[in-house]
Structure 1
Amino acid sequence: MTSTPPRTRALAARRPWQPPTELERRLRDASLADDEKGYLRILTETDLYLYQSKDEVDAGGPRHWRTMEDELGNWCVTVCTAGERLPRRAGWVAACRTLEDLAEHWPDARFSLYVNPGSPSGMRLRARAWDRRGWRKAAREAGVEHPPAVLTKLTGPRSGPLAHALACGAHLSVTNGVLWNEIGDVYRDYERDVHLLRDVWGTGTPQEWQRQMNALLAARNSPPEPELALRVRRELSRDAATLGAEAWRRACTAVLDEMAAPAEAGAAVQEVIGRILRYEARFRADGLLPPDGYVRSAVGYDYGRAVGFARWGLSARLCPAEAAEGAILRAGAACREAYDSWEDFSAGYALGRVLRFDTEEFGEWYTAVLEPHRLLTRDEGSPWRTVGWREA
């Protein structure tokens, strides 16, 4: 075991406390009411964060549980909720756990569980064997699945260009169950974010992160054929109803002939035109597009992912906060340049995603963008309802 001195929050003591998220407000209310069962029920809805040695996590060996002595002299394992995560500190990284995980792997019954120490949302919970059985029971009763939600950090940016840019990454934030408006210590979990970048993106160094980020911000991460076809359509007509499919196909052929493109490029563009038309028909049926709407551009998929990629890089310690924030702001500015509204951007993001990964099966690659679109366009607390598209 390792120990640290009690954590103090002198600044918080001098200022009225503002709940970072709605969840911490509910925890505060349960704590004030001394409602331990209600407090546990709330904990089952959220991720909890342990802080561990970065060197130990990177080495992949045994992990020590970080403990502290509380104001009464009790030794505790401390965890934070997402809104109360600590500022970044050298040598320490956040590990995401659930209440049930803690119950299953608790290090010693002599330790208590201290949630959000030093905060009005905090509570110290005894962790004897029968107490941990109560944690597991609460987790079973709550179930393992929680509906997708727009998670907002009330103390984070909620207006202005940074909020707008972060909201361009909200598809992924909703899908991954993370706060949409935070550039903090982690995105979801240090170790998982490291693995995501390494295994999915082939990115394990600051230099590789920067190369991938440059490609996303230049809309070069996705295949070029869809954007070429969409650009030709934009240039020919502002209203898709006046431009038939055959005229669009002929215009693309003419452009490729002027470019002296190889025959296989022409075949690829013709194939993608058919896919775009079929996806747009489905988008209209599902409300991703209005009845007479069409997709202006698919670059939103790269720009929207750039927001998440910046946050993953920050979490994985591949870039400093300044670089992550700068990239996010650039992605937001690029989205404003390419689109006219949140709905316009979302349709472009969705098309870029399904053209890249879905094979017209309309399976998970499609539903995982349709459901966040519906939530973000309808939820009263969504940044797409509270942050203006041109907010800068």
Structure 2
Amino acid sequence: MTSTPPRTRALAARRTWQPPTEVERRLRDAALAGDEKGYLRVLAETDLYLYLAKDEVDAGGARSWRTTEDELGNWCVAVRTTGERPPRHAGSVASCRTLADLAEHWPDARFSLYVNPGSPSGMRLRARPWDRRRWKKAARAADTDRPPTLLTKLTGPRSGPLAHALACGAHLSVTNGVLWNEIGDVYRDYERDVHLLRDNWGTGTPQEWQIQMNALLAARNSPPEPELALRVRRELSHDAATLGADAWRRACAAVLDELEIPEAGAAVQDVIGRVLRYEARFRADGLLAPDGYVRSAVGYDYGRAVGFARWGLSARLCPAEAAEGAILRAGGACREAYDSWEDFSAGYALGRVLRFDTEEFGEWYTAVLEPHRLLTTDPESPWRTVGWEEE
């Protein structure tokens, strides 16, 4: 019996391997074809991850590049693509870079660049000065102003309650250019996620993370006036789209009197006007059906809770079990509040613009409109493949 040569077996294994994302599939195909130019083109269009010493990153200042020996005993700097990031290690953290960054700041021409070591998508690249000029050329040729993209981990959850819950955070995943269906070592980049939580959320400890997470899951992070007004409208009429504005305003004023908080009247009346104007724009832009209306704005807190859980995990403020549990709770809360992905998305969008947009319909609006359009139309979107009531 003639045995199959090792190289032939290796090539066959590469072809039958299940890439974790489309990026690794393209890299594998380029590597199989010996197409270094095509390989560089893929690298130029994706995030690359260096792993650095956590204590050095936390301390700030200069960081040393970690080098390793490849299978042939040559020194190299290893980077990973998104789908090939390794499991968490206590002493190292992921630092997101681009091919242009690597070319500009390469530590030593004697080191080669080793992409995805040990993976069928991997390749070793020389890093001499003229090689790095090719990296820069590939980076300049890359489409750096790409529209929002849906990134799916093919080996991640794509059905069931966890996939449904993660898809409730898909607005942010599309906007930030990260995988929607992963609870992994980082969301985008350890250091950036630490700064995001500290600067935007005032969160730098596990205790602070838990307090903010509890507020999001209880829909207490956003102002209360929009939800009060929307709840009154829901209870007042089964056909809220045709309910007159005056009747809605009077009903809210009566509720505030009953609650003995008439001083909130001006804020609630202002919210009613803003909601009506935003709903009109939503209908014009396809965020709502022609006769649609927003049932609730709590989806904004619940949707952000998914991202907040992943940021906390990335920043090492919570364990994976706590992050996953919070994400599942957010998904369950969304199912209770809404009837469909489109219903949820409109609620998320309204909560966002009422919080941050001043009816300018600028970035705060477009950054939710574009993901909505992608997620409701792309046939590979979880909003098309994961049922709303997925259990």
Cα distance in 2 for residues equivalent to 1:89 and 1:222: 35
Shift of residue 143 of structure 1?
A: 3.7
Aligned to 2:209: 209
**1:303-347 deviation digits (Å, cap 9, x = unpaired):** 000000000000000000000000000000000000000000000
The answer to whether 1:21 aligns with 2:21 is: yes
Cα 1:15/1:213, change in 2 over 3 Å: farther
Q: Report SS of the residue matched to 1:78.
A: strand
Any conservation in 2 of the 1:79–1:114 contact (CA below 8 Å)?
Answer: yes
- In 2, distance between residues paired with 1:320 and 1:175? 25
Distance 1:176-1:241 versus aligned 2 partners, 3 A rule: closer
**Residues 198 and 204, structure 1, Cα contact 8 Å, conserved in 2:** yes
In structure 1, what residue type is equivalent to 2:295? R
Distance 1:46 1:40 in 2: 10
1:344 aligns with 2:380: no
What amino acid maps onto 1:176 in structure 2? N
Deviation at 1:241, TM superposition (A): 3.7
1:179-258 correspondence runs (5 A):
179-258=179-258
Contact preservation (8 Å) 2:114, 2:122? yes
Q: Deviations over 1:256-275 (max 9, x none)?
A: 01001032x01110010000
Gaps of 5+ in 1: 1-12
Q: Which residue of 1 aligns with 2:330?
A: 331
Partner AA of 1:73 in structure 2: G
1:291 paired residue number:
290
- Please give the alpha-carbon distance, in whole angstroms, between the structure 2 residues aligned to 1:230 and 1:312: 30
In the alignment, which residue of structure 2 is the partner of 1:132? 132
What's 1:363 paired with? 362
Q: What displacement does 1:15 show? A: 12
Distance 1:193 1:118 in 2: 28
Let me know the Cα RMSD of the aligned residues. 1.2
**Paired residue for 1:383?**
382
TM-score w.r.t. length of structure 1? 0.95
Q: Is the contact between residue 14 and residue 28 of structure 2 (CA under 8 Å) also seen in structure 1?
A: no
Q: SS in structure 2 opposite 1:200?
A: helix
Q: Please say if residues 249 and 272 of structure 2, whose CA atoms lie closer than 8 Å, have aligned partners that are also in contact.
A: yes
Amino acid at match of 2:357: D
Task: Supply the distance in 2 between the matched residues of 1:14 and 1:258 (Cα, whole angstroms).
Answer: 69
Identity rate, percent: 88
Q: Quick check: 137-146 or 169-178, which moved more?
A: 137-146
Task: Report the AA paired with residue 183 of structure 2.
Answer: I
Q: Measure the CA separation in 2 of the matches of 1:98 and 1:228.
A: 46
CA contact 2:169–2:306 (8 Å) conserved in 1: yes
Query: Shift of residue 147 of structure 1?
Result: 2.0
Q: Which whole-Å deviations, capped at 9, do the CAs of 1:46-66 have from their partners, x for residues lacking one?
A: 000000000000000211111
CA 1:66–1:161: 2 relative to 1, 3 Å: same
Q: Indicate conservation of the 8 Å contact 2:241/2:293, yes or no.
A: no
Number of residues of Structure 1 aligned to a counterpart in Structure 2: 379
Which one-letter code corresponds to 1:67 in the other structure? T
Aligned partners of 2:14, 2:183: CA distance in 1, in Å?
A: 25
Secondary structure, aligned partner of 1:156:
coil
SS of the aligned residue for 2:389 comes to coil
Contact 1:166/1:328 (CA < 8 Å) preserved in 2?
yes
TM-score, with normalisation over the residues of structure 2?
A: 0.96
Q: How far has the Cα of 1:378 moved from its partner?
A: 0.5
Match of 2:7 in 1: none
Q: Which moved more, 1:243-252 or 1:212-221?
A: 243-252
Q: Matched residue of 1:52: which SS? A: strand
- For 1:81-120, what aligned pairs fall within 5 Å after superposition? 81-120=81-120
Provide the C-alpha distance between the structure 2 equivalents of 1:218 and 1:18, rounded to a whole number of angstroms: 39
**Deviation of 1:144 (Å):** 2.3
Rounded Cα–Cα distance in structure 2 between residues aligned with 1:362 and 1:375: 18
Q: What residue number does 2:167 align with?
A: 167
Once residues 110 and 14 of structure 2 are traced to their aligned partners in structure 1, the CA distance between those partners, rounded to angstroms, is 33
- Distance in 2 separating the partners of 1:50 and 1:297: 42
In the alignment, the residues of structure 1 paired with residue 332 and residue 244 of structure 2 have an alpha-carbon distance, to the nearest angstrom, of 32
AA aligned to 1:49 is Y
Question: Within 2, Cα distance between the matches of 1:241 and 1:94?
Answer: 48
State the AA in 1 paired with 2:68.
M
1:45 and 1:146 in contact (8 A); partners too: no
Q: Sort the Cα spacing of 1:241 and 1:50 in 2 relative to 1 into closer, same or farther, 3 A.
A: closer
Query: How far apart, in 1, do the equivalents of 2:147 and 2:254 lie?
Result: 48
Q: Deviations over 1:191-210 (max 9, x none)?
A: 00000000000000000000
Structure 2 vs 1, CA of residues 14 and 111 (structure 1 numbering), >3 Å: closer, same or farther? closer
- The alpha carbon displacement at 1:16 in A equals 5.9
**1:310 match:** 309
Q: Structure 1 219/313 Cα, relative in aligned 2: closer, same or farther at 3 Å?
A: same
For 2:80, the equivalent position in structure 1 comes to 80
5+ residue gaps, structure 2, are 1-12
Question: Match of 2:81, as an amino acid?
Answer: T
Amino acid at match of 1:233: R
